[in-house]
Amino acid sequence: MNTKVNNSLLDLSLANVSKTFRQKLIDTYLDIKRSCVESDFEAAGLAAGKFCEVLIRLLQHEVTGSHTPFGKPVPNMADECRKIITASNNSVPESVKSIIPRALVFLYTMRNKRGIGHIGGDIDANRIDGATIARTADWILCELIRVFHKMPIEEAQDLIDGISVKSLPIVWEVAGKKRVLKDGLNAKQKALLLLYSETESAVLTEDLCSWIEYTPSMFAKRVLDDLHQKRLIEYDRESELVYLSPKGAKVVEDELL
């Protein structure tokens, strides 16, 4: 995801949204998308909560002319959405007054009641819950662009269609293994990306080698040693564990994601 490009395009497409809300809305939306691409569903849930907090204030502003100040908690999200839906102001688009508030209630409920990032249970629903959150946020932002856009209708439609495309995860978990789906990466880049995707603090050398499908006898010498010397990873030869360093994480975020 090219965050800078998406940020600029979204800023243009939402130019008619007050600056009070616009950048906060874009930032939290992109945080949702980024977190889902990285399979960090707990972070996606947190970003969705912030997205909802900005969105409710935008809706309040558009429908009532005032909003809950930032920094002051919204007392009850469902009640505030109900006030918007039942408000007597008929000058705002039906979507803003009726449809988006209902989508907001669903999104906020998913974020809170489903417990994104939850532990336990027979079925791990984090992935499908995260995907549902991302798609709901997609729809809401697309609808805001449709209502508020300040660009030719053809360009607005193209942007909406682009946002609506399902994000392809960079790292795919399948049958107890991980695979890098991004093309054109060498073994060292794949190793960094796989370490970044791992929720645990370290990965066994054997697992990392298997995920990359590298020759085991050459993996440490040709891949891990160089990354270790550059301080992108910590390679513990005694325990055969590999840790991603803060420097390595920054390389992933700046160059690979």
In order of start, what are the domains of the chain with their CATH numbers? 3-164 (1.20.120.330), 171-256 (1.10.10.10)
Poorest-confidence range of 7-16, 186-195, 203-212? 7-16
- CA-based nearest residue to 205, from 234, 176, 230, 226: 234
Give the global pTM: 0.65
pLDDT above 70: percentage of residues in the chain: 88
What is the DSSP pairing of strand 177-180 with strand 241-244? unpaired
Residue type at position 89: N
On whether the CB atoms of residues 257 and 170 are closer than 8 A, the answer is yes
Amino acid 167: pLDDT:
60
Q: Tell me the mean pLDDT in the region 188-198.
A: 92
Q: For 243, what's the count of Cα atoms within 13 Å in the CB-facing half-sphere? A: 9
DSSP one-letter string for 217-246? HHHIIIIIHHHHHTTSEEEETTTTEEEE-H
State yes or no: pLDDT of 3 exceeds 80: no
Q: HEC profile for 111-168?
A: HHHCCCCCCCCCCCCHHHHHHHHHHHHHHHHHHHHHHHCCCCHHHHHHHHHHHHCCCC
* CA dist., res. 81 & res. 87, Å (int): 10
Q: How far apart are CA 110 and CA 241, in angstroms?
A: 37
